[in-house]
Structure 1
Amino acid sequence: MLKQITRLPVWLVELFTGAKSFVANPLIGSQRLNRWGLHVGRVALAHGVMRLRMALLSWRVPKADRRQFIEQGYVLKHNYLPEAEYQALVEEVRHGPGEVRQCIQGNARTRRMLLAPEVLEKMPHTRALMKDPAFRRLMRFCAGHLRMPICHAEKVMNGVTDDAPDPQTNLHVDTFQPTMKFWLYLEDVSEHNGPFVFVPGSTCLTRDRLRWEYQMSLKAREHADRYTARGSFRVGQEEAETLGKQPPQSFHVPGNTLLIANTFGVHARGHAEPGTSRLALWGMSRTNPFNPLPGLGFESLNRLQYRVLQRMRQRDDERAAARGVRSSWHRVEGEEFCWSA
């Protein structure tokens, strides 16, 4: 009881942040408060704030891109880079000099190399992309924030173990707030190596979507699915049909395709054949959903977020080592950075 009293101020403050777990925060998970509309209110307010920030950052972003992202929930751009630049970027990423970390979920292994400033100093083609004004304007608009997304080189390897299926292949939403993720694919993506799956229009706050959010909030804390209980709601196939404007769409795209998605929308990682993989530049941005200002875009702040993430990873390593296990995102030891490993 005393612990609950002392933690109450923290739980209250978290209501005004991106905190989403119905288990970790008893106010977020309160059936009574959610029956009164707490969760739906947070969803609606976060959505409105994001639209305001996006409007402030829409300058010089092509109208077609703005419209597609708002109405459909994604932007898709084929042949994003000139061919020579694209091929140079692919070769550079395949021999990237940064630290590699990996996470294993079910039978899938995801490896990422953080594109921190000191790493980009050795990757001129990747650095040029990250500095490109048109690329930065589009990233900032879709993120609703002047701070650039944290970026990685990423390789997803499918069917590497005999464990349970990859949980990311279940349709789901990441969180209650609009969240931006992007992929610049450096290999062709097809039904064989796990395409991104998205329900077009499922980012819109329709009556059906708000009703679904309300119903999920009443049962999320006690839900059998641990991801749902933590605020990343899993979505049934029939539910997905009602939450968007079209059925789930698989993005079978060639290399050199840029895909940006609002993962408040219903999405998943497509099923893939064992032994296949896909390579991409990947990044995400998730900010305080209730701050109406688009933040600051100083380069020092962009650099700082990488330092913070690196320190968090080190702390996770230390805590895991004290328990005699590996952290969820652990370093790939004893191997050079090679996407084919």
Structure 2
Amino acid sequence: MKRVFQYPIWLGELFTGAKSFKANPLIGNDYLNRYGLHVGRVWLAYWMSRLRMAMLAPGVPRADREQFQQYGYVLKESYLPESQFLALVKAVREYEGEIRECCQGDTNTHRILLAPEVLEQLPQVKAVLEDAALKRLFRYCAGHARLPICHIENVHNGSRKNDTVRDPQKNLHVDTFQPTMKFWLYLEDVTDENGPFVFVPGSNRPHRERLKWEYQMSLRAREHADRYTARGSFRVSQEEAERLGEGGPRPFRVAANTLLIANTFGVHARGNAEPGSSRLALWGMSRTNPFLPLPGLGFEYFNRLQYRVLQRMRRQEDARSAAKGKRSSWHVIEQRRL
């Protein structure tokens, strides 16, 4: 009887960014997906995103727009003037604040949430994120007027020596069925040693081969052995990656002070890295309801509110995990500097 009352909720989730084939029996329904439910959601989400992007295009350089639509990323080397960049790196490395950690396989990811009160203590970071041209580019690539949630991020590779489980982020995958924006402003050089971001150019578009693959995956995702695939973040083989884009996976080995914005509906991964290495960056992401036809208004109130919501969710997760004698997936650590 309980399941009967859940069906209206599951039905409503079809019109949101819900993606789990395991948690929602409608999203994972074999019959509905044979008749194109998942592929239809992919196709509609993409074109709704393109519609919103068109509304947000004014003021964004044409070259950036074309690169993002064609290849799925925007790359800007030597992004900041050298003096500004050096001041930014110094401020980030010296800042002391709450750090949360997520452990996946042998990788520990540390993040400092750049909530409004934190940005007030980091004017060098605030100056970068408040740049009008960058905000226009963020909004365009996200397809939404709300700005991304931003962090300072340090990825520590091979820091859990006794863990033989591979970091799942280092397997080629797509984040979800809808266009999603993530960015990195690298504060140090990115090489094969510390794990470059890997992306398949052109895999951001729902072309014929991509839709065919999405259809095939939708028929077996619910019972898939990989739990991330069952939850809607499909894992991609090397052979599939070659077919879904142009030229296969590309590692972004870039110098410090490079800005990278990517559509993580495209095939990507965190690159393999040497144990003990790390990668420091300003990092952020933006995701919205994929079926909204309008990009929203982008009021500053909502930009601030999303940080409050995330902070509250983290605290609630901390409390639930503590009650079970466990740590939350993103738990606070004693360390105060990245």
1:96 deviation in Å? 2.2
Could you say which residue in structure 1 is the equivalent of 2:146? 147
Once the two structures are TM-superposed, the CA of residue 204 in structure 1 deviates from its matched residue by 1.1
- Asked if 1:64 is matched to 2:63, the reply is yes
Partners of 2:153 and 2:86 in 1: how far apart? 17
1:58-106 Cα deviation digits (max 9, x unpaired):
1010111000000000000000000000001111111224311000000
Corresponding residue for residue 317 of structure 1: 318
SS in 2 for 1:61: coil
Task: Tell me which amino acid in the other structure corresponds to 2:304.
Answer: R
Residues 198 and 251, structure 2, Cα contact 8 Å, conserved in 1: yes
Distance 1:176 1:225 in 2: 17
Contact 2:97–2:337 (Cα < 8 Å) also in 1: no
Within 5 Å, give how 1:169-188 maps onto structure 2: 169-188=170-189
Query: What RMSD over aligned residues (CA atoms) do the two structures have, in Å?
Result: 0.6
Match of 2:47 in 1: 48
**Pairing 1:12–2:18 present:** no
Matched, 1:287 2:296: no
Cross-structure match for 2:238: 237
Is the CA contact (8 Å cut-off) linking 1:98 and 1:115 kept in structure 2? no
Question: Using the alignment, how far apart are the partners of 1:233 and 1:50 within structure 2?
Answer: 20
- Structure 1: unaligned runs, 5 residues or longer: none
After TM superposition, the structure 1 = structure 2 runs for residues 165-244 of structure 1, keeping only pairs within 5 Å, are 165-244=166-245
1:183·1:258 contact (CA, 8 Å) conserved in 2? yes
Quote how far apart the aligned CAs of 1:118 are. 0.2
Runs of 5+ in structure 2 lacking a partner?
A: none
Q: How does the TM-score come out when normalised to structure 2?
A: 0.99
**Matches of 1:208 and 1:184 in 2, distance apart?**
32
1:130 CA drift (Å): 1.2
Moved over 4 A (4+): none
Q: How does 1:114-129 map to 2 (within 5 A)?
A: 114-129=113-128
Contact preservation (8 Å) 2:153, 2:283: yes
**What is the deviation of 1:202?**
0.3
CA distance in 2: counterparts of 1:98 and 1:305, whole angstroms: 19
Aligned partner of 1:198: which letter? Answer: F
Q: Distance in 2 between matches of 1:241 and 1:200?
A: 10
Q: Secondary structure at the match of 2:284?
A: strand
* TM-superposition CA deviations, 1:253-302 (whole Å, max 9, x none): 00000000000000000000000000000000010000011012111110
Residue identity over aligned pairs, in percent, reads: 68
Is it true that 1:23 corresponds to 2:16 in the alignment? Answer: no
